[in-house]
Every structure is written in C-alpha cells, then in structure tokens.
Amino acid sequence: MGADLGRGKALDPAEGVVAITRDELGPLPDDLLERPDAARHDPSRWFEYPDRPLEVEVGPGKGGYLVEAAQARPESNFLAIEQDPDVYYYTADRVRRHREAGAIMNARVLRADAVAFLRWRVVDGCVHTLHLYYSDPWPKRKHHKNRVLQDGFLADCWRVLRPGGELRLATDHEELWAFYEQQFAKWCEGVPDGFNATPFVREELPKLPSAPEGGLIGSNFERKFTQLGATARGAILRKDEAAR
C-alpha cells in the first residue's frame, strides 16, 4: 500500500519492481557486531542488468535528479535511498510512473537509513558513483552530529566505491558548506586516525545542462531555492584509481 500525501490517491511504490522489498534486502544476523560484513552484498543484484555501473543517491527528495539521471544514463543502474516514508513513497511512485511509460527501466528505491545501509549492507568496491545533494544542514550546533558527511560515512563511501569512483556533493547552505570544507580538508589532505583508507582527490562538480541559474544538478529542491536567490556549491571526491 502507498502513502496518501493529500493528493487524492494512494501512491504505489511498485514493490519488487521499483521499491526494494524486505525479502530482497534480507535479515541482519544476530552477531552483526562480531561479523560486520556478514550482511553485505552488492546492490547491483537487485537490477535486471547487474553488470552495469551502480550509482547510489542518498536522499533523493522528490526524485527530480534521480529521474533525469536515469534517463540520461540508461547504461547505469540507479539506487535511491530515502528514510522519510512520505518522500520514499512519492519518489518510488514517480519512478514507477516513468517506468510504466517506458522512460526509465534502471532505477529502484529503498526505504532505509542510507548511512547504516552503506555501513552494514554494501560490499567493498561495488559502487561507481555516490550522490549526496542538498542534505539536511542540521543548523543547530547540538544537531551537527546528525549531518551525513561525518568521518564514518566518508570511510564507508571510500570502502564501497570502486577505484576511481566518485562521491558527488552539492548544497546551497553556507554553514553546511563550511562543514563540508572542513571534512574535505581532513579526507583529501590525509585520512583521520583509525580509518583504513587513502585520501580522496577533490575535483569541481560540473554544472549539468538542465540545472537552473545558480544551480548545479537541476533537482526540484534546487530549482525552488535558486528562484529565491540561493547559489549551489559542489564538489567531487574521487577515490584514487590505485586504491584497493
């Protein structure tokens, strides 16, 4: 059953076709802390063509970027991970409608905490690109610990990315960007103590042709706030080709 967002009809996530089911995800073992890799798999197995490059979007919002990217790159598989139930249902329903119209056949949606999913569910070196756009800035100081781009998340990004793989980021929130810059310095000039990784290579995030003035990726959120005067900033963190 879908969620009703006040639009007069239930949203259909098309479980097993668009939405990832619990059976597909599988259970977590009781001894997970003793065997942290026990439930890790390659999410590519959820797609019709598992050998294609895998792109993962953390927090797709209403799915604007997801739908455009999946149409533009049919040679890739796209997995969007959304925790909020209403947003999840909306995004999955949107993908379903595009799928039924024959527009995209290479995108699926998972309802989960993306940070925990990468940590416990994804094997090493299987992801081609990770996308993190317009993440919640958690502006209050006491909530900064909830920001996605923490050291543990970056360590898991490094681990799940293939050599040469990319983490792509964008935000229009000045304070969050300042936090990102601090994290970039820690992870591009070196690696924090206690993490088995090599430094990322930082690159500029290019503006997509469909992005609005002041934007970078062309999502629904970005279009809304650039119209109000916001300006996006972005970066790519690339895993070294020689990293293993």
Q: Which residues are catalytic?
A: 136
129 touches 203 (CB < 8 A): no
Structure-derived torsion over alpha carbons of residues 188, 191, 196, 200, reported in degrees to the nearest 10: 0
Distance of CA 26 to the CA centre of its chain: 20
| 202 in Cβ contact with 235 (< 8 Å) | yes
Q: Which tokens go with 195?
A: 């993490």
Helix (H, G, I), strand (E, B), or coil: what is residue 200? coil
Angle between the 151-160 and 174-188 helix axes, to the nearest 10 degrees? Answer: 60
CA 113 to CA 206: how far, in whole Å? 28
C-alpha distances in Å from residue 215, one per residue of 115, 135, 153, 206, 210: 26, 15, 25, 10, 9
Side-chain half-sphere CA neighbours of 151 within 13 A: 12
| Contacts of 159 by beta carbon, 8 Å cutoff, 6+ apart | 124, 125, 197
